[in-house]
């Protein structure tokens, strides 16, 4: 049964930053923390430190501290003092920005990214012949010192090559998009998986109960009824065709007849043709069509929701949003989450989508 978020222990927000297992810098020096997680880009963190200057040595406490510099790996914990539920992010400092004013203490902004950002600079070796995309993801995770949480893929590819100057991050993003998977790194785990967007959520939000605001938008502008793929079968040396319809995609969310919704909103059926792909089987062509159909239809309803902070709200999970009308009530998938902890307390803002499939 889904739990209402208002039932959690909401008292004093706490946050902690660790370096090499040691709490550093101490929380009394941290003015605020913001963590931005997004399924499409590396997650980012920002710390604002209250700077101090040693009167005797005229050295700044944090700006001149060799322990806080670009390249330093940190762990950030956030949650509540009375709850065992905590969020955690591993990342690496990338930038330092001091702010000096004529009055008051200086501040130091510390910015960094999660470990997926490192994959934008590496191009590790991987098995590239007679290989599945899931095996490639496992190879790259291992080569970069990450553990892999990978859903197996069915199709074996004769040869997989990088595009010129393509780094590991871009390669895995391209492969995941091609088959309708998602790729991201959380802490030291690399995820390459099917989206978990077709199940009921573990959290429930209700209007006038436990969220601050919810701003959804419904648009049918990019929806399509069917995708047709014409590809070259490199194994049998022949052209093959496949298609995917909305009826081919199963959902457990209980969506209505979107075929008619698309036709009514567009004035006619919308079919898309894709040509020039290389495949090795009819099944691979079918999977390509289905992945493209999902991609084009995943943004039927999108929105943002702001609530009292909850460290369990992370991209890649579903939530139930209820009592907001028949059109907008339902199951939504979190694609982005921003956690902000500071003097104003702890708030979470999530970006969500509800696809037609």
pLDDT at 263: 82
Direct distance between the N- and C-terminal alpha carbons of the chain, in angstroms, rounded to an integer: 23
pLDDT band at 256 (very low <50, low <70, confident <90, very high): low
User: Would you say residue 211 lies in a domain?
Assistant: yes
What CATH number should be reported for the domain holding residue 325?
Answer: 2.40.30.150
- For residue 208, pLDDT over 70 is answered with yes
Q: Are residues 212 and 315 in the same domain?
A: yes
What's the pLDDT at 279? 85
pLDDT of residue 248: 80
60: exposed, middle or buried (Cβ count in 10 Å: 0-12, 13-18, 19+): middle
Is residue 209 in some structural domain?
yes
| Boundary of a domain, candidates 94, 113, 132 | 113
**pLDDT (tens digit, 9 = 90+) per residue, 85-123?**
788 999 999 999 999 888 888 899 999 999 999 999 999
On whether the CB atoms of residues 51 and 5 are closer than 8 A, the answer is no
Domain assignment of residue 94, yes or no = yes
Same domain for 187 and 132, yes or no, is yes
Number of domain units in the chain? 4
The answer on 12 and 84 residing in a single domain is: yes
Q: For residue 185, what are the domain limits? A: 119-193
Round the average pLDDT of the chain to a whole number and report it. Answer: 90
Quick one: CA dihedral 21, 25, 27, 32, positive or negative? Answer: negative
Residues 309 and 213 in one domain: yes
Domain shared by 109 and 138, yes or no: no
Q: Is residue 99 part of a domain?
A: yes
pLDDT of residue 162: 96
290 domain residue, yes or no: yes
Same domain as 62, residue 7: yes
CA distance 162 to 170: 9
Q: Helix or strand or coil: residue 334?
A: strand
Whether 274 maps to a domain, the answer reads: yes
Is residue 198 in a domain?
no
State the DSSP string of 2-36: PEEGGGS--S-EEEEEEETTEE-S-GGGEEEEEEE
Per-residue pLDDT, 92: 97
Q: Could you tell me if 208 and 347 lie in one domain?
A: yes
Same-domain status, 90 and 17 = yes
* CATH label of the domain that carries residue 184: 3.55.50.10
Confidence (pLDDT) at 83: 77
Are 214 and 343 found together in one domain? yes
For the chain, helix (H) and strand (E) counts, in that order, are: 4, 22
pLDDT at 343: 84
């Amino acid at each position: 049964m889904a739990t209402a978020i208002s039932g959690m222990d909401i008292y004093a927000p706490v946050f902690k930053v660790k370096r090499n297992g040691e709490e550093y810098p101490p929380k009394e020096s941290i003015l605020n923390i913001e963590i931005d997680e997004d399924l499409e880009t590396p997650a980012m963190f920002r710390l604002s430190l209250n700077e101090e200057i040693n009167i005797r040595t005229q050295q700044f406490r944090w700006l001149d501290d060799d322990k806080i510099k670009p390249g330093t790996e940190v762990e950030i914990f956030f949650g509540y003092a009375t709850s065992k539920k905590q969020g955690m992010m591993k990342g690496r400092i990338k930038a330092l920005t001091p702010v000096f004013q004529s009055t008051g203490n200086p501040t130091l902004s510390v910015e960094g990214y999660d470990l997926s950002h490192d994959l934008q600079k590496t191009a590790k070796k991987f098995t590239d012949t007679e290989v599945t995309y899931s095996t490639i993801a496992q190879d790259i995770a291992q080569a970069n010192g990450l553990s892999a949480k990978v859903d197996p893929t069915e199709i074996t590819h004769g040869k997989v090559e990088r595009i010129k100057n393509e780094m590991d991050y871009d390669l895995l993003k391209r492969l995941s998009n091609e088959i309708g998977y998602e790729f991201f790194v959380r802490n030291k785990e690399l995820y390459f998986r099917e989206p978990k967007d077709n199940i009921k959520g573990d959290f429930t939000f209700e209007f006038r109960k436990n969220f601050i605001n919810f701003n959804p938008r419904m648009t049918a502008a990019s929806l399509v009824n069917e995708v047709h793929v014409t590809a070259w079968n490199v194994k049998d040396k022949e052209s093959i065709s496949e298609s995917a319809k909305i009826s081919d995609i199963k959902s457990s969310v209980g969506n209505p007849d979107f075929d008619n919704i698309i036709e009514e909103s567009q004035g006619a059926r919308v079919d898309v043709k894709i040509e020039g792909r290389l495949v090795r089987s009819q099944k691979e062509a079918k999977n390509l069509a289905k992945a493209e159909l999902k991609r084009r239809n995943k943004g039927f309803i999108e929105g943002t929701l702001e609530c009292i902070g909850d460290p369990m709200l992370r991209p890649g999970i579903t939530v139930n949003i209820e009592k907001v009308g028949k059109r907008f009530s339902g199951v939504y998938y979190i694609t982005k989450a921003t956690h902000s902890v500071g003097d104003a307390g702890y708030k979470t803002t999530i970006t969500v989508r509800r696809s037609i499939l």
